[in-house]
């Protein structure tokens, strides 16, 4: 992998990326603290969509500051080469963690979901929808703290109307809310809450509530079927956890709690789990 040439930065290590972007650990010329560079792949740099996504990422990351959100440090978007600079977070993605361990303990899953919900609540208060909540976009530090990252799809209501009206689905199939799979699309912060519910379910069980072999099948299931209920999966599930997952996965977005309510409910769940496990409670 040939490193990008971004004035003021020395690429150190390739971290990954997708079809449009590459992500590198880099060191600024004027600092000793490493950062993360997100820049277009050479073959995609001329595409208008690429610059739009980078601008959205910079806008949301610079405007909304929260401990549970990846921190955008600066953006270089006035002229090529374009790049957005992030803090470097040590740890692994939740996706990699789940691949390694299969699933999390109930307490760990609640802890992760609550932290991500805090980040979403901050974005929603500022009028943004993340639009791509999934384990691959959650970083877990060695202490267990999490940060929601990747604001490329982050938008305000109505900004994607032309795309959605043309039939383009924004997000990742396994984490899409049902209302994003219908016509007309009903986008909004409730879709983030649904995706969080899918991720919470996955952390608890090691699988997703709409298991599908293809993206098309995942979308079709959401159009006509109910998600798997947590009680249908073997395990001793606390009532609060079952109800919390159900609430986030309700098919009608109007029936789901807002992210701030999810935070409150998960904090109560954490307290209940701590009481159950403490010697005094026994």
Whether 58 and 175 map to the same domain: the answer is no
Whether 247 and 168 map to the same domain: the answer is yes
Strands of the sheet with 72-76, listed across from one edge: 9-17, 21-28, 35-40, 83-87, 72-76
Place of tokens 């984490």: 175
49-104 pLDDT, tens digit each? 889 889 999 999 999 999 999 999 999 999 999 999 999 999 999 999 999 999 99
Whether 112 and 240 map to the same domain: the answer is yes
**pLDDT band at residue 281, thresholds of 50, 70 and 90?**
very low
Question: For the range 272-276, what are the long-range contacts, defined as Cβ-Cβ under 8 Å and sequence gap of 24 or more?
Answer: 272/238, 272/240, 273/106, 273/107, 273/110, 273/238, 276/238
When pLDDT is averaged across residues 255-279 and rounded to a whole number, the result is 93
Whether 58 and 122 map to the same domain: the answer is no
Whether 21 and 150 map to the same domain: the answer is no
Whether 168 and 197 map to the same domain: the answer is yes
Of the candidates 63, 68, 17, the one whose C-alpha atom is nearest the C-alpha of residue 155 is 63
Whether 133 and 209 map to the same domain: the answer is yes
- CATH classification of the domain holding 230: 1.10.510.10
When pLDDT is averaged across residues 253-267 and rounded to a whole number, the result is 98
When pLDDT is averaged across residues 125-138 and rounded to a whole number, the result is 96
Of the candidates 68, 60, 11, 70, the one whose C-alpha atom is nearest the C-alpha of residue 39 is 11
Whether 101 and 217 map to the same domain: the answer is yes
When pLDDT is averaged across residues 179-204 and rounded to a whole number, the result is 93
Of the candidates 197, 194, 177, the one whose C-alpha atom is nearest the C-alpha of residue 186 is 177
Whether 53 and 120 map to the same domain: the answer is no
Residue at which a domain ends, from 87, 116, 137: 87
Residue at which a domain ends, from 35, 52, 87: 87
Whether 98 and 23 map to the same domain: the answer is no
Whether 52 and 179 map to the same domain: the answer is no
Token pair of 28, please? 């600024």
**pLDDT band at residue 233, thresholds of 50, 70 and 90?**
very high
Q: What is the pLDDT of residue 77?
A: 94
Out of 103-117, 203-217, 246-260, which region has the weakest mean confidence (pLDDT)? 203-217
Residue 131 has pLDDT above 50, yes or no: yes
Strands of the sheet with 138-140, listed across from one edge: 92-93, 138-140, 146-148
**Boundaries of domain holding 37:** 9-87
From the candidates 29, 30, 31, 132, which is the catalytic residue? 132
User: Does residue 282 form part of some domain?
Assistant: no
- CATH classification of the domain holding 55: 3.30.200.20
How is residue 100 annotated by DSSP?
H
Q: What is the pLDDT of residue 253?
A: 96
Whether 79 and 102 map to the same domain: the answer is no
Q: Is position 132 annotated as part of the catalytic site?
A: yes
When pLDDT is averaged across residues 260-277 and rounded to a whole number, the result is 95
**pLDDT band at residue 168, thresholds of 50, 70 and 90?**
low
Residue at which a domain ends, from 28, 59, 87: 87
**How many structural domains is the chain composed of?**
2
202-230 pLDDT, tens digit each? 999 999 999 888 888 988 899 888 999 99
Q: What is the pLDDT of residue 282?
A: 41
């Amino acid at each position: 992998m040939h490193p990008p040439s971004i004035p003021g930065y020395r690429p150190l290590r390739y971290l990954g990326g997708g079809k449009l972007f590459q992500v590198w650990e880099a060191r600024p010329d004027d600092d000793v603290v490493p950062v993360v560079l997100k820049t277009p792949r050479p073959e995609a740099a001329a595409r208008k969509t690429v610059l739009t996504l980078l601008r959205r990422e910079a806008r949301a990351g610079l405007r909304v500051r929260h401990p549970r959100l990846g921190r955008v440090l600066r953006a270089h978007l006035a002229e090529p080469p374009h790049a957005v600079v992030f803090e470097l977070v040590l740890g692994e993605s939740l996706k990699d963690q789940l691949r390694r361990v299969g699933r999390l303990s109930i307490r760990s899953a609640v802890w992760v979901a609550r932290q991500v919900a805090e980040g979403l609540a901050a974005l929603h208060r500022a009028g943004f929808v993340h639009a791509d909540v999934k384990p691959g976009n959650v970083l877990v530090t060695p202490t267990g703290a999490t940060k929601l990252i990747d604001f490329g799809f982050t938008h305000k209501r109505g900004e994607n109307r032309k795309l959605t009206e043309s039939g383009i689905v924004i997000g990742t199939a396994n984490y899409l809310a049902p209302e994003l799979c219908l016509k007309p699309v009903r986008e909004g912060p409730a879709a983030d809450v649904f995706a969080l519910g899918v991720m919470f379910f996955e952390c608890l069980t090691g699988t997703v509530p709409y298991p599908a072999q293809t993206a098309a099948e995942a979308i079709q299931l959401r159009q006509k079927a109910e998600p798997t209920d947590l009680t249908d999966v073997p395990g001793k599930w606390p009532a609060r956890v079952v109800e919390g997952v159900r609430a986030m996965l309700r098919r009608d977005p109007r029936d789901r709690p807002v992210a701030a309510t999810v935070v409150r409910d998960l904090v109560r769940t954490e307290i209940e789990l701590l009481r159950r496990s403490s010697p005094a409670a026994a």
